[in-house]
Structure 1
């Protein structure tokens, strides 16, 4: 599935760097750069659930993603297993030390993911998806300081105070930025609330998230009775916030609304979806991730799925293909929009 592959590639570098920094914090003094290596490996393991997209249908793969492997249960159960395996062949035989390295690398992965739009089921098997929506799946302001200080630490002697200082600085700066994103989200949320009040718009829900690769430009989804309103706000804006209207069109589903897979897909989208009808059938748009274009009334949603039903009544969701040029164009549009309206 394109969604899971895209997200996994985008997210990998950040999780590798975070895992390496955590590994260094736990065992760097004992095993040197091997702590970074195993931390980096551990930091990627939870995302192996992406392979479910190759052996199951779209809806099931989306349900599985960031589920069990991103939970406290997984971290507790599998950290000792990996710790035991590594302690069997590494010169450093401390089973407890290796287990702690894997535990902290495993658990910090979903904690970071919980700050993104997709979120994570940290408390699996409870069906609670934590999604603070304060940071995009990759943000240079989070990753770069962590990476720079990790590299500086890498070239220090494993017992050096400088090594520990550099690594701790990277973790401190990146974690402080992560905390700051909650304040930035609060400010943006208030701006959207004020805009809706000034424009006398009655709404049911307001949901905000940062735009790709920054926390200066924020997007909002606003639910009204029959439609969703989509808007953007940059901290450098000088003009009022405007909203584009997208009819829900949920009625177009007709009897499909009672199908199990459709219900599951609605649950996955947390109810933030529209239905559009094209020449080749119905399409399900997940609004949580926005559009691939800032053009007014664009229907080019980041995650759009074609709904098909075979003769037996079975429903299938197929992700609509994306054009790489759309992604490049969007980044160009976002860069201009970040600087203000």
Structure 2
């Protein structure tokens, strides 16, 4: 999830663990604990694109990290804070660390919760930024800070924020199941043969859902809103995996395929080859094979070394996407 959401969740968890004893410092250190796992993004400054993608939401988002580093941070804080309870601080950081990947597991990218095992947990029930999850939670947290640490109202608002946010997560699971069934029914009614269906919510909401459908030579992409009154329409994107030719056996190419879970297309433009991660869709609702959200140029130098270069995103395309999403969300 986005940084603000993780800060809010971490702060609420910190309050639940030590709020009665240390007051707003529990919010502060909880927020820090909720932020630390995302420091893995710094890897992009020290390594290549493929390695940085593999590292993202890897070790720092694992159970192992939470268990190993919580007592380290707990010991450090207990050394200089007036409240010297090593166990209490360790529990605060543990819950701050572990709730971060548990929440991220509900997004499309997912987390390597069980690192070092190569298994990325991704339920794909919520977009990385969702106001309906974050804003009520944030309001409750602000109310928490208005009361003394021993106040029952402080405890009430913190619990309320945790209950509302957790309940919303459960609702997104139900919505995913309902949307998935709609896509399956549409594929059946249109007599489309397929191997797999991958569903997820579109940006900023859980009303409009999208599905990637794996067929023999193409991927189909469809959208469904709970306000729809017409049949689902699917757009076709040729896989063109044959464009990779001999490059398909390259180590970095194989790793990128693994990162995308096999949901990718290959495109050619002006003698350049591009790897398109299909899991995150395009910068708009209408069919556009050139505007994938995550698109990487596959560059090969004179020595045959392969590098992946992410193509920049156009802000105007992003504005257009939000406009298209809002229009489509209201139904077809």
TM-score, normalising length: structure 1? 0.96
User: What does residue range 295-310 of structure 1 map to in structure 2 within 5 Å?
Assistant: 295-310=286-301
Correspondence for 1:330: 321
SS in 1 for 2:2: helix
Matched, 1:87 2:71: no
Partner Cα separation in structure 2 for residue 294 and residue 307 of structure 1: 26
Describe the superposition over 1:48-78 as per-residue Cα deviations: whole angstroms up to 9, x where unpaired. 0000001100000000000000000000000
Q: Which structure 1 residue ranges, 4+ long, deviate > 3 Å from structure 2?
A: none
Q: Compute the displacement of 1:329 (Å).
A: 1.2
Correspondence for 2:187: 196
Matched, 1:269 2:260: yes
Correspondence for 2:168: 177
Correspondence for 2:229: 238
Contact 1:245-1:297 at 8 Å conserved across structures: no
* Residue ranges of structure 2 left out of the alignment (5+ in a row): none
* Residue ranges of structure 1 left out of the alignment (5+ in a row): 1-9
Q: Compute the displacement of 1:324 (Å).
A: 1.1
Over the aligned positions, Cα root-mean-square deviation in angstroms equals 0.8
Match of 1:251 among 239, 242, 253: 242
Correspondence for 1:311: 302
Correspondence for 2:198: 207
Match of 2:210 among 219, 225, 229: 219
Partner Cα separation in structure 1 for residue 64 and residue 19 of structure 2: 26
Q: Compute the displacement of 1:138 (Å).
A: 1.1
Partner Cα separation in structure 1 for residue 27 and residue 62 of structure 2: 22
Partner Cα separation in structure 1 for residue 130 and residue 49 of structure 2: 27
Partner Cα separation in structure 2 for residue 16 and residue 297 of structure 1: 36
SS in 2 for 1:329: helix
Partner Cα separation in structure 2 for residue 87 and residue 144 of structure 1: 32
Q: Compute the displacement of 1:305 (Å).
A: 0.2
Partner Cα separation in structure 2 for residue 146 and residue 28 of structure 1: 17
SS in 1 for 2:194: coil
Correspondence for 1:3: none
Correspondence for 1:129: 120
Compare 253-262 and 310-319 and name the one that shifted more: 310-319
Partner Cα separation in structure 1 for residue 293 and residue 179 of structure 2: 22
Q: Compute the displacement of 1:253 (Å).
A: 0.3
User: What does residue range 87-126 of structure 1 map to in structure 2 within 5 Å?
Assistant: 87-126=78-117
Q: Compute the displacement of 1:296 (Å).
A: 2.7
Contact 1:142-1:177 at 8 Å conserved across structures: yes
SS in 2 for 1:213: coil
Q: Compute the displacement of 1:298 (Å).
A: 4.2
Describe the superposition over 1:215-256 as per-residue Cα deviations: whole angstroms up to 9, x where unpaired. 000000000011100010000001100000001000000000
Partner Cα separation in structure 2 for residue 324 and residue 33 of structure 1: 38
Matched, 1:146 2:137: yes
Compare 288-297 and 63-72 and name the one that shifted more: 288-297
SS in 2 for 1:312: coil
Correspondence for 1:65: 56
Partner Cα separation in structure 1 for residue 260 and residue 176 of structure 2: 21
SS in 2 for 1:158: coil
Contact 2:282-2:288 at 8 Å conserved across structures: no
Count of aligned pairs: 332
Q: Compute the displacement of 1:126 (Å).
A: 0.4
Describe the superposition over 1:251-310 as per-residue Cα deviations: whole angstroms up to 9, x where unpaired. 000000010000000000000000000004100000000110122344200000000111
Contact 1:244-1:297 at 8 Å conserved across structures: no
Correspondence for 1:7: none
Correspondence for 1:294: 285
Correspondence for 1:339: 330
